[in-house]
Structure formats: structure tokens, C-alpha cells
């Protein structure tokens, strides 16, 4: 996996994974002593909470100015502007996401992206999962877009998760580069020496967008071709996460949701400030609609911070 500006090596922390297994009540056993992969499951309390973040929390989180302006070529961040015509579906600006459940950078991105999209519409069928225990920022808690549906009067959205977080038994092998520090980053005793199990097949149109725009020419040498790839209606593209997934490391789903009520520091500020940047981008696509979202001071400030 190559994932935007935050590179990675394979890691695992057995104690954290054991806690996850206890919380989730088990699942299919991974081979060679590796702990359980987290299967997607429903938790309406969590998925409802992230779709109903209060306006006051967004205001307190800030405008994401620290991420810097977004330009036509990468300037050290994971987002670029595009100069093509706006892309629509059924007359609405069309946002498309391509990722995978094993990917910790996708896991980090789904939190603010889901929160931002929920300001313009609503999801059904969202489930909780975690990134693989065999990679950097192992078992990062998140939601998954697989099988989820999104409805909005302002925008269209399609989220595709190509692969699960589960490595086939035959591909779990000993990691010759294992070391013990630092705890969140070190390589696992095991690694996935192949692909994770398939989940969803991207439509040809989305594959074409990734091939066209998720490139070294736009994102810098060695950074193109990663996930998550997010295409914002022909005007912006993202390869990788806009914040370090390590911010979420070791936090449960409930702890991440609780952190959203402390929007001026830590997890809450990181997630919600990035959500504000996404919101500003979407407001640019929708012609500043709805006004109740796009005309708020923090989003107006976030739009200026994009430039």
C-alpha cells in the first residue's frame, strides 16, 4: 500500500488487538497466531453521532488553515486542484471515493469525510470496522463505505472499498523486518505478502479517474497511485489522508466519537478541522448551498484557507 503523504510499514500491537477481540465478541481466527480481523458490524449510536455533529463543534475546530492552500500540484499535502469541467451525476456535483478496509489512511479519511458529507445529506447502512492488524497504525477504528448508501438534494456520492481488512491465510507470512519500537509504527511479526480479500469492484469510470488523476505528476514522485483516492466533482482530488492516522491510534469508536465534543484539541480538532475543509470544498461545488452550512463563518474562513 502506498498512501499519500504518510508512508507506512507493517505493524501490529497484540494487546490492542486482543482488546478489540474482547469488545467485538470474536470473529474468524487469523492464521499463524495473528489476532482477529475486525468484521464490519452495525452500531447505530456511533454512526448516528457522526452524522449529527453540532454546529458549535465545527466552529470551535477551526478552518484547517494549517493544512495550507490547495494548488494544481502537490505542495506537500495530499490534495490538489483540478482544472477540468465540473462532473455531475443526475445534475448534482459528483464526489467519488476509492479505498479499502485494510488501509489505515482510508480509515482516518472516512471519519471527516463522512462527517462533512452528512452536512449535505444522510447515510444509510454505514457500519464500523478497523484497518488491518498487519500494517502501520494497526487496527485503526473507523466506518466503512462498503454497502452504505448516501442521499442528498445537493450532491451525489459513491464510496467504493476494493478490499477487506482480511489477509488470506496463505499470504500471512513472518516479517523479516520486525522490530519493537515505536509501538504504533513498528513492523508486525507478521505481514500480508499479497492482496487482502476482495470486496467491491470499482466501476470503469472510477478506475479511469484514479488512473488519470492519482499520479506522481500531480501528487509528487512516489506519491501517486495511493489510497484513499477522493475525486471532488472535477475540481479537487485527494491521494492519502489530510492528517496523520496516528492521531486515532488506540482509540475506540466510542472514544473517537466522544472526542468530537472536545473540538479544540486532539482527535476532535484533527477530525473536525479536516471535515471543515471537506465542507468548504463541497460548498464550492454546490454554489454555497445549503446556506445554513456554507454561510457560517468557519466555512467561509475554510474556503479562504483553500486558496
Residue 132 pLDDT class (50, 70, 90 cuts): very high
User: pLDDT at position 190, please?
Assistant: 85
Percentage of the chain modeled with pLDDT above 70: 87
User: pLDDT at position 187, please?
Assistant: 64
φ, ψ dihedrals at 287, nearest 5°: 70, 35
Average pLDDT of the chain is 88
User: pLDDT at position 182, please?
Assistant: 73
CB neighbour list of residue 175: distance below 8 Å, 6 or more residues apart? 10, 187, 188, 189, 190, 191
CA distance 96 to 252: 27
80-99: average pLDDT: 96
CA distance 192 to 292: 46
CA distance 237 to 304: 18
User: pLDDT at position 135, please?
Assistant: 86
Residue 36 pLDDT class (50, 70, 90 cuts): low
User: pLDDT at position 8, please?
Assistant: 35
Residue 179 pLDDT class (50, 70, 90 cuts): confident
User: pLDDT at position 15, please?
Assistant: 30
Residue 136 pLDDT class (50, 70, 90 cuts): confident
Q: Are 223 and 4 in contact (CB under 8 A)?
A: yes
Nearest to 207 by CA among 76, 96, 285, 122: 96
Residue 76 pLDDT class (50, 70, 90 cuts): confident
Residue 84 pLDDT class (50, 70, 90 cuts): confident
Give per-residue pLDDT as tens, 2-22. Answer: 454 443 322 332 333 322 333
Lowest mean pLDDT among 1-10, 74-83, 206-215: 1-10
At residue 297, does pLDDT exceed 80?
Answer: yes
Give per-residue pLDDT as tens, 217-246. Answer: 999 989 999 999 999 999 999 999 999 999
Give per-residue pLDDT as tens, 241-289. Answer: 999 999 999 999 999 999 999 999 999 999 999 999 999 999 999 999 9
User: pLDDT at position 183, please?
Assistant: 66
Give per-residue pLDDT as tens, 104-131. Answer: 999 999 999 999 999 999 999 999 999 9
CA distance 70 to 280: 12
Residue 28 pLDDT class (50, 70, 90 cuts): very low
User: pLDDT at position 163, please?
Assistant: 98
User: pLDDT at position 20, please?
Assistant: 30
Amino acid at each position: 500500500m502506498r498512501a499519500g503523504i504518510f508512508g507506512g510499514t507493517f505493524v501490529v500491537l497484540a494487546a490492542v488487538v486482543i482488546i478489540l477481540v474482547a469488545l467485538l465478541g470474536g470473529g474468524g481466527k487469523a492464521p499463524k497466531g495473528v489476532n482477529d480481523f475486525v468484521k464490519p458490524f452495525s452500531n447505530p449510536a456511533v454512526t448516528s453521532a457522526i452524522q449529527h455533529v453540532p454546529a458549535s463543534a465545527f466552529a470551535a475546530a477551526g478552518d484547517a488553515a494549517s493544512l495550507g492552500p490547495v494548488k494544481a500540484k502537490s505542495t506537500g499535502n495530499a490534495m490538489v486542484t483540478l482544472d477540468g469541467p465540473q462532473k455531475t451525476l443526475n445534475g448534482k456535483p459528483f464526489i467519488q471515493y476509492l479505498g479499502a478496509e485494510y488501509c489505515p489512511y482510508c480509515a482516518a479519511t472516512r471519519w471527516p469525510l463522512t462527517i462533512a458529507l452528512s452536512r449535505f445529506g444522510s447515510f444509510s447502512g454505514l457500519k464500523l470496522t478497523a484497518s488491518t492488524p498487519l500494517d502501520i497504525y494497526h487496527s485503526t477504528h473507523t466506518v466503512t463505505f462498503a454497502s452504505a448508501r448516501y442521499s442528498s438534494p445537493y450532491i451525489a456520492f459513491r464510496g467504493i472499498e476494493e478490499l477487506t481488512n482480511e489477509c488470506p491465510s496463505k499470504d500471512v507470512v513472518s516479517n523479516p523486518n520486525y522490530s519493537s519500537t515505536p509501538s504504533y509504527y513498528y513492523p508486525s511479526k507478521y505481514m500480508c505478502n499479497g492482496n487482502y480479500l476482495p470486496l467491491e469492484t470499482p466501476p470503469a469510470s472510477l478506475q479511469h479517474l484514479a488512473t488519470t488523476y492519482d499520479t506522481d505528476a500531480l501528487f509528487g514522485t512516489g506519491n501517486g497511485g495511493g489510497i484513499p483516492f477522493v475525486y471532488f466533482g472535477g475540481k479537487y482530488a485527494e491521494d492519502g489522508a489530510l492528517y496523520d492516522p496516528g492521531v486515532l491510534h488506540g482509540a475506540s469508536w466510542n472514544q473517537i466519537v466522544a472526542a468530537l465534543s472536545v473540538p479544540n484539541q486532539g482527535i476532535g480538532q484533527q477530525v473536525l478541522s479536516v471535515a471543515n475543509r471537506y465542507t468548504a470544498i463541497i460548498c464550492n461545488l454546490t454554489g454555497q448551498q445549503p446556506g445554513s452550512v456554507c454561510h457560517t463563518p468557519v466555512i467561509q474562513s475554510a474556503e479562504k484557507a483553500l486558496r
